[in-house]
Amino acid sequence: MNALPMLCMFVVMIAVPVVISYALDIPWNAPLDMAPWGWWLAVILLAGMVLGIGTGWLLGILLNVLAANLLHGWALRKGIRVFWFKEVPNDWRLAEWRGDNSFGLREAQRQWDEQRRKGVVRGIIRKGLPWGLTMFVAVGLFPILSNPSAYDWGDVAFRALIWTVAGGLFGWWMWLMDRRPE
C-alpha cells in the first residue's frame, strides 16, 4: 500500500469521530462511558473509524489514479489497473530488462502461495494485531493514564478486547486485500 491511501485513511478516520462528537454536542476529550448511551456511542464511533479507514483507502486510490492521469498522462484504465488491481506493467519489471518477462509473475505467484500456505491466522497476527495494539495504546490507554481514578481494570480489559477484535478484523481485511497476481 502506498502513502496517499494511508494518509487519506488517517484523515478520514480522525474526521469521523470529530464530526460525530460535534453533531451530538459531546465535549472534547469527554469520557464516553460516563455519557448516556456511552458504550453504544463508542461502538458507533469505532465502526465509523473503520468505515473511515475503508473510505480513506478508496479515496487515496482514486487520488493516485487522478494524479497519474493529470501528471503523467496515464489513461484512467491504466491507473485503475495499477493502483486498484496492483497489476504492474511488464516494462516496469527488472526481469524484463534481462529478457525473462515471466520472472516477475512467477516470483509474485510464489510469494502469494507462500503467504496463503502460512494461513490467514498468521496474516492477522502479523498485520492486524500490531495495528490493534497501537490503537489500544493511543486511543484506549492514554485517556486512562491521564485520569486513572475515573477508570478501573474492567475498563482496561474492555478496551483491550475491543482493539484486539478491531485489529483482528483489520488484519483479516488486509490479508484479503493482498490479492493473488493474475
Return d(Cα 38, Cα 176) in angstroms, integer.
32
Percent of the chain with pLDDT over 90: 7
Compute the CA torsion angle 79, 81, 112, 165 (nearest 10 deg). 70
Q: What does pTM read for this prediction?
A: 0.45
User: Using CA atoms, how far apart are residues 54 and 91, in angstroms rounded to an integer?
Assistant: 31
pLDDT in tens, 56-86: 788 888 988 999 899 889 899 988 888 888 7
Residues 6+ apart with CB under 8 A from 104: 88, 90, 93, 94, 95, 96
Other CB atoms within 10 A of residue 163 CB: 24
- Check residue 179 and give its pLDDT: 58
- Return the minimum-mean-pLDDT range out of 30-44, 63-77, 112-126, 142-156: 30-44
